[in-house]
Amino acid sequence: MSRMMKDEVPDGETYVVIGAAFEVPNQLGPGFLEAVYHEALVVKLNNRSVPDRREVALPVYYKGNKLACSYRADLLCYDGLLVEVKAVEKLCGKEQAQVINYLKACHLDRALLLNFGTRVLEYKRLYRPPVSSASSSSSSSVKAVPGRQAT
């Protein structure tokens, strides 16, 4: 029996967070700073009983060693879904690379990159596949699943 790839069918938790995220700009409209959308998203997630923690310090690892510094995640939902909130004109490779590095360094498997700075919410699902002893840790091994793009 073949296993489905993670990006073929979205998991229920990312689906719920994306659904909540779409409601935020519908109520607020465009033009706010990232912090406003971030706070509104937290309210909406709480309304939907989504377990979340804000500004969570996540440990960063290098070659199996925990570093003294940490990464502060915008949101951590369901104790394993990293949510990075942006309010920029358009997502580019910089934001995606940042989240991919967080996934790898913090040993997390999935993330949502949400951009409230466009006319329509822009989002990407990002996954870090399991590390095998034969594979390298290059960024090309991380799958990016595009969501809705602003037009």
pLDDT at 110 over 70: yes
Domain ranges of the chain: 12-146
Averaged confidence pLDDT in the chain? 83
pLDDT at 10 (0 to 100): 56
| pTM for the whole structure | 0.78
Q: How far apart are CA 30 and CA 23, in angstroms?
A: 12
Q: How far apart are CA 82 and CA 68, in angstroms?
A: 20
pLDDT band of residue 107 (cuts 50, 70, 90) is confident
pLDDT at 150 over 60: no
